[in-house]
Structure 1
Amino acid sequence: MMAPNQLFLTFDVTSLVPPRPPFQHSLKEELIFMVTDIAEEDDGQFAIWGVSGSGSSVLVTATGFQPYLYVAAPSPVRDPVAPSGQVAQSELPDALCQRLNQALPPDARLDSVESCRRTPLLYYRPADSSAEGAPFLKFVLRPGASLRRLAGALPGLLQSAAVLELGWRFEDTTLFEADVSLLQRFLADVPLSGGAWIALPPAPKSKAGYTAVKEPRSTCDVEVTSAWQAITCLTPDALQLADAAWSPLDAARVPLRQTEAVRSAQAAAGAGAIAPLRTCILDVLCAPADGADRVPIPGHGDPIVAISCLASSALLPSDKDAGVAGDEEVIAVDDGVTEDADLEGGDGSLEEDAENGGQAAALVALRPDGPTSTRSQAASTALHPGYAADYISASAREGASTARVCWSMTQETAMLGDFLQYVRALDPDVLAVFGASDVFAPLIERCAALRIEGGGLLLGRGRAGGALARPLALKRVTMYSASWVRSQSRMSSTSNQETFRAECPGRLVVDVLRQVLTGQNLATFSLVDCVQSILGRTLEVLRPWRLAGLLKGGSGCGVRENDDDNDANDDGEIHTSSTPVRGVKKQPKTTDPPNAASLLRVARYCAQRAASVRALLVRLATVPELVEMARATGLTLTQTAYQAQMIRTHSLLLRAAARAGYAVPGRQDPVQLAEHTFILHPLEHRTAGLHRDAVAILDFASLYPSIYRAHNLCYTTLLHPNDRDKVAPEDVTVTPTGSLFVKPTVRAGVLPQILAALITARAATREALKSATDPGQRAVLDGRQRALKVTANALYGFTGAQTSPLQCAPMADACLAYGARSCRAALAVVERIGRAAELGPASAGARVIYGHTDSMFVLLPACSAPAEAVGMGKAIAARVTDEFPEPMKLQFERVCRPLLLVHVNRYAGRAYDKPDGTPSLLVKGLVSMWRQAAPIVRTTVQGVLRRVIMDGDPESAARFVEAEARRLLSGQVSLHELIMTQGLWRVTGEQVEAAAALEAGAASPGTPGRGAPPPGSPASPADIRGPHVSLAVRLSQRDAGRSFVLGERLPYVLLAGAAKQDDAAEDPLWALRTRQRPNVLLYWKNKLVRPLSEILGHCLTPARLQVRAQSVESAVGVVCLLTWVVWQ
């Protein structure tokens, strides 16, 4: 339990809320806004949250949506025993609907059955190839009915005697589009997406238009209800972007007036405009109640001691953000305090609480971008609790708005209450955090423990007592389950990651950590590491026990000698306890309260963390990339952020199929692919080594998408095995695997059309990006072209993966086989050019020394200079391209001279992109690029590569290795240089805790250990192996608050004295504190010898290796290295 009489510093934060622009909207005008979230509700309703162009919050309740599925139409019963009372074909839908509803459960009953024409997406069948499609029945459910339950019951009912009595027989009861979720169906049918601009006509102008709600259930500025058919999406998806003639008004189910507002919104939507999203960046700090050196456990009584709320509306890069994002001087925690600030004394409670010497908690509310401010400015200041002040009337610096800040000393309950009050008063559209679990889990646990507002973290936009007033919820999200990864041999080293998704009604929660995990290749992913790697800045770290010490009074416990350097600043913001703050009346002396410097340091620390999250948010263009991916693929923003690539392709396929009149089948039985990618192995073909002649690297541009387009590969063009003799040979393409696909003259495939649209839209976006000058607009366009590229490249994986909603093994195998054949054909062309010197003397002797999937490395021994090699590489690429059908194209990427080819996907070279370009060191796949390798390994290998590749001096590289070996083996390296990292890809945090509990029980039988193992699937002893996993178990035993998640990367060092490497792994901080020695010999033998041997073995002749070995006396490790190479 938390110690009694603890102090918490809170603010009356209502005056800190930046004013929202006045709400202006007439119910007689079209309602236009940008969608931020779409949530499925009961009875066919959807809650559509958004923000208008003026910044007003909007909630539209879309009603009346009905799910449906398709079944091929039945045929009449013609045999003599057929019932005499056959229902006429025109009456069949109604009769069938009535008959089925008699047998269906109440929550799966039909609203109607409609006759329509559709073409099955899978297979080309000549009998069903008419332009109108085949006859189908569309089974439409009642609003709110269960499509899943209908799909389970319908096939059996359609073949029942009750249906047969109608005089019709269903020969095929295959269900189409039965496994499409209700949200996906809604998004595809409207159409709609997160980040899209939509328009609704008012009810006076249209019967289906929107109307204001009588009893609002949210706190939004605008809340209306409307039939879903009235929604018109003004933002094009990826398929519509490529259609210059597309207009959203042409597809509107309910006509919109051509007003100036509608036309302006349509233009803005096409340009990718993003509404002014009000954002609150949150950060939470906890401290142990007992001040011990351990991880706080909020659920066990450790309090939250600081909450930082950074209000912002700038989520797009701007000129002022360049180079200064996250700078310390931008954070002015004590902004606005003047000498004539009016202060009045309190009622004495502050002095009484301060005498108890407990902890203090600061809620820091910042406002970095006011209406006229160009710098980040704080609207709050943490002051010495002895300087009791009920309020401070502070006039801000020039350019900032004034603020009236009230202070009070109270308990943690008041601080959390003020926090909730501030967020709701601010009413942000976006809550941005770094690590949703780290921020929201403590808030959820403390609100529950202290019963704040009933115990739930109510941060949403639902009105109190209503259905939308749901507490914020955290849900686990994993890329793959740990058990599935363990079952896949090819997944043994694949990155796997568990994150947390926060659901807050009416507010979009953006987790910057999620984007960093999926988009950045870092060794570890703490906020400090991300700020260092991405922003190039350092961020102070205050451990929880240090925070507890600072807030208890004085400078804290166990302060480092250089800590005082961080407590002062040249701007005079921090004051010692003996120096009164300007304008503050001196209060009676208290007993060891937290001094002003300590409180301001904590406040500044909170502010810096929040500002760093904002800087990452802007630098990574998190919101523009998220919005553009959602717009392009037709998903919600949450789906885009947390769901895999499959759903993006499936969404586009649903839209394209519906527009072309196709019915999409359900999930197919998974099949293992038979084909493989092309590889010309450098070891098998004896081409590995140091190539001093120029090597041109050529790549097929989007090989697999190009193959789909060039050969018309699609679900819709795959010829059914039973129809092989029903199509003329000249109308069929025979693939290398033997599968047959009809040519575009017979039927154009849907997938090639999707790919063509994506590539066309991306080309247009990149052209617009070249001329864009505004940083915000550039971020939007760059996010769009990235989204289009990623979506196009993921299409092959969608058709071939066993986990795909619509795997098609014949098509995926055909694509792989075409890719391998294309590479072999390109290799043959290059060899022919080299033998005959077809492109001039400089092409003589050209040959391929390495190839993999879509790239090939062409050795050009006759090119005397890099510039000549660049020209020849481009000429060879053009000649090879002529041998392939459009749009397949082999492109020149770069020339390397020399090139060190070590293995598949492992090489280094001095790269030239242009004839007159400056060379750079290109390294791929070698240890120097491995994020898990220790810095000493990376820097040593990189130093060798630079000397060998860039300087052309292998002898210098050997001497460098000797020097690094002496430095390492003599213990002259810092512990930082020995830190390695590895991820918990195959073991969950629960399994680590269970292993820790079992080991603790085995170590101390009969005595209570860590407690009972947590629930969940146990890990076998074989899974709890590896240095990082063993370390995770030990760390969990040391500190009950230390928890892990699937995929978390652990830093560790290898220490001396352990028999096994698993036991040698230790936390770097622990090793530093306990002054334990690293096992430098283990680093040398196990981490450095092999990668260095691979490089030097190719760069030095055996004779030189022997000479080097004989000349080395003191560097024993180098002798071992050279001997190892010789014996290879």
Structure 2
Amino acid sequence: MYYQQQTSHPFLKIVVSLPSMVPTCRGILDRGIQIEGLGMKSFMTYESNILFPLRFMIDCDVVGGNWIEVAAGMYRRTARKLSNCQLEFDCLYSHLVSHCPEGEYSKMAPIRILSFDIECAGRKGHFPEPSHDPVIQVANLVTLQGESQPFIRNVMTLNSCSSIVGADVMSFNTEREVLLAWKEFVREVDPDIIIGYNICKFDLPYLLERAEALHIAEFPLLGRIRNSRVRVRDATFSSRQYGTRESKDVTIEGRVQFDLLQAMQRDYKLSSYSLNSVSAHFLSEQKVDVHHSTLSDLQNGNAETRRRLAVYCLKDAYLPQRLLDKLIGQSIKVLSQLLWKANQKNLVLPNVKQAGSEQGTFEGATVLDARAGFYEKPIATLDFASLYPSVMMACNLCYCTLVTPEDARKLSLPPECINKTPSGEIFFKSSLQKGILPEILEELLAARKRAKADLKEAKDPLEKAVLDGRQLALKVSANSVYGFTGATVGQLPCLEISSSVTSYG
């Protein structure tokens, strides 16, 4: 953090036997230790707040979703399987060969995506409660990443249900059988990703609480690690832009949950009303309207009325699958890119204490009001390609090139070596020291250029979908670097960078 004339400093690396010991260790150092002859001394810790899987990935040069190779003779099959994975073996971590995602290794693995939806029979005038109200249907669609149509499409119903063209209908006499059938289905299908509409706040917690109410002890074993139960905890997402939202964190070991409702509310700032409009837009060709107040009546009717409910349930499982094709995923973690780049350069990141709103704010971009009207003459539209990333690269804006006001006074800085930004901050030019953030941005934009060039040449629909997803993700990733520096409740805020970017812009 900040430009330093010294090329290196001595650091002490502390290794503990379990990840859970890291916060304890950090707390001791933060609070301070009584040292004989020196008194009470506290220490700044570095990279002590990194998630353990990310720490492992950085140390082993592994990036998300890339290909790993283990040479013949360098691994052994496990005698007793600890997971439900199709392959399980032991090897030394140093024997992993991580392949850079380029050429043949840029292809996606055939990730399995399960999209599901549940229906519950609530009492008149009451929102369904898992302690009282049964789960009456579960609809499932399983798709291989990149394919337009699911290869499994089924619905599990409580009591009989008439057949549905293009879907398997599985009927059960008891709710217990429905829940156990779904649990077994998840284990057999072995999805990598579980998606749905409001699944983290409603569907998954409801299924778990309902199974508990019915005393189905084995139901929460939905993950890939044997005997590891699904964990649910209350969570809040807070930011200046979106305010505070309450949600739930659902952990299913070895499977990723992606809630389309939460993603769209966050990425598109949509209300539930406008989300329903989006839903209708994607599904107008097969809209089946069933009001929530009629669910119990349809369930209590006959096989035909339950069929109508099942078609509605299947539609709600199909919707997230369609929406997923239109979305570009959650915001990319800038922190992991910083850590990787810092690791390559023999640098460590400080563990900055969460200062929250104490850090103050910065002036955002200028947005001019449109002059509405009818224009007879054409209007030229001029747009900068990647404006904020371009500013950061051109002006070498980074944590490690920022000069503190104190250093600016002490050091006699030659004007040709520094940039003074319109907001009054001082950064060293790249001729003296290249910043890490500009390097990350250059690589992201270069990778996007390559992905777009490959996209033009690609013929295979799956390859085209993957490359288009990649170039969009790289664009989001480059644009989120600026936001990362301005997030005062984030991992490494630096308002001097973000205010400089908007002032230049």
TM-score, normalising length: structure 1? 0.40
SS at match of 2:91: strand
Tell me how far apart the structure 2 counterparts of residues 698 and 177 of structure 1 sit (CA, whole Å).
42
Q: What is the one-letter code of the residue matched to 1:225?
A: D
- Picking from 178, 182, 185, the partner of 1:422 is 185
Which digits, 9 at most, give the CA deviation of each residue in 1:306-351, with x for residues without a partner?
A: 22233x3433144xx5xxx9xxxx9899xxxxxxxxxxxxxxxxxx
Change (3 A) 1:229 1:542: same
Q: Secondary structure at the match of 1:138?
A: coil
1:1047-1073: per-residue Cα shift (whole Å, max 9, x none)?
xxxxxxxxxxxxxxxxxxxxxxxxxxx
Residue aligned with 1:479, SS: strand
Matched, 1:614 2:321: yes
1:601 maps to which residue? 308
- Structure-2 change in CA distance of 1:154 and 1:497 (3 Å): closer
Q: How far apart, CA to CA, are the structure 1 residues paired with 2:320 and 2:493?
A: 40
2 CA distance for matches of 1:551 and 1:676?
Answer: 53
AA aligned opposite 1:180: I
CA distance in 2, matches of 1:691, 1:427: 57
Q: CA deviation at 1:659?
A: 0.6
Number of corresponding residues: 498
Question: What residue identity is the alignment partner of 1:302?
Answer: D
Name 2:145's counterpart in structure 1: 315
**1:378 matches 2:167:** yes
**Aligned mate of 2:237, from 473, 479, 488:** 479
**Equivalents in 2 of 1:811, 1:510: separation in Å?**
32
Task: Indicate yes or no: 2:2 matched with 1:137.
Answer: no
Residues 747 and 377 of structure 1: is their aligned pair in 2 closer, same or farther, counting only changes over 3 Å?
A: same
CA gap of 1:450–1:201, structure 2 versus 1, over 3 A, is: same
Change in 2 beyond 3 A, CA 1:730/1:776: same
CA gap of 1:444–1:135, structure 2 versus 1, over 3 A, is closer
Unaligned runs of 5+ in 2: none
Name the structure 2 match of 1:941. Answer: none
Secondary structure of the residue aligned to 1:140 is: coil
Aligned twin of 2:122: 288
- Are the counterparts in 2 of residues 288 and 297 from structure 1 also a CA contact under 8 Å? yes
Determine which of 379, 385, 388 is the counterpart of 1:704: 388
What are the Cα deviations for residues 98-128 of structure 1, in whole angstroms up to 9, with x where unaligned? xxxxxxxxxxxxxxxxxxxxxxxx22232x0
Pick from 104, 109, 123 the counterpart of residue 275 of structure 1.
109
- After superposition, the C-alpha distances for 1:921-948 in whole angstroms (9 at most, x for unaligned) are xxxxxxxxxxxxxxxxxxxxxxxxxxxx
Deviation for aligned residue 1:816: 2.9
Equivalent residue letter for 2:317: A
- Quote the residue 2:46 is aligned against: 176
Counterpart pick for 1:772 among 454, 458, 476? 458
Q: Give the residue type in structure 2 aligned to 1:507.
A: R
Cα distance in 2, alignment partners of residues 199 and 604 from structure 1: 44
Instruction: Give the equivalent residue in structure 2 for 1:795.
Output: 481
Distance 1:704 1:673 in 2: 18
Aligned residue in 1 for 2:135? 304
Aligned to 2:91: 226
Counterpart residue identity of residue 511, structure 1: D
Looking at CA atoms only, which structure, 1 or 2, has the larger radius of gyration?
1
Distance 1:527 1:705 in 2: 31
CA shift, 1:451, in A, is: 0.7
- What are the residue-to-residue correspondences of 1:1081-1120 with 2, within 5 Å? none
Judged with a 3 Å threshold, the aligned counterparts in structure 2 of structure 1 residues 748 and 607 are, in CA distance, closer, same or farther, namely closer
**Residue by residue, what CA displacement relative to the aligned partner does 1:443-480 show, whole Å, maximum 9, x if unpaired?**
222211111135x53322333xx4x2x1x333445432
Partners of 1:189 and 1:763 in 2: CA distance: 28
Aligned equivalent of 2:418: 732
Alignment of 1:111-510 (within 5 A): 122-126=1-5, 128=6, 130=7, 133-144=8-19, 146-154=21-29, 160-161=35-36, 173-202=43-72, 204-205=73-74, 210-236=75-101, 267-269=103-105, 271=106, 273-288=107-122, 292=124, 294-299=126-131, 301-310=132-141, 312-318=142-148, 361=159, 377-380=166-169, 410-436=173-199, 437-453=201-217, 456-463=219-226, 466=227, 468=228, 470=229, 472-480=230-238, 494=242, 497-510=245-258
- Residues 234-256 of structure 1, C-alpha deviations (whole Å, 9 max, x = no match): 244xxxx7xxxxxxxxxxxxxxx
One-letter code aligned to 1:146? M
CA contact (8 A) 1:199 1:234 kept: yes
Whether contact under 8 Å (2:232, 2:248) holds in the other structure is: yes
In structure 2, relative to structure 1, the CA distance for the partners of 1:198 and 1:363 (3 Å cut) is farther
Partner of 1:402: none
* Partner in structure 2 of residue 827 of structure 1: none
Give the 5 Å matches for 1:625-664: 625-626=328-329, 641=330, 645=331, 648-664=333-349
Contact 1:304 / 1:361 at 8 angstroms: preserved in 2?
Answer: no
Distance 1:317 1:525 in 2: 30
Q: How does 1:640-1039 map to 2 (within 5 A)?
A: 641=330, 645=331, 648-667=333-352, 670-673=358-361, 675=363, 677-678=365-366, 693-724=377-408, 725-819=411-505
CA contact (8 A) 2:120 2:137 kept: yes
Q: Is the partner of 2:88 in helix, strand or coil?
A: strand
Output one character per residue of 1:377-401: Cα deviation in whole Å (capped at 9) or x when no partner: 333366xxxxxxxxxxxxxxxxxxx
Matched letter for residue 397 of structure 2: L
Contact 1:800/1:808 (8 A) holds in 2: yes
Give the partner amino acid of 2:316.
R
Q: 3-state DSSP class of the match of 1:697? A: coil
Q: Look up the match of 2:288.
A: 540
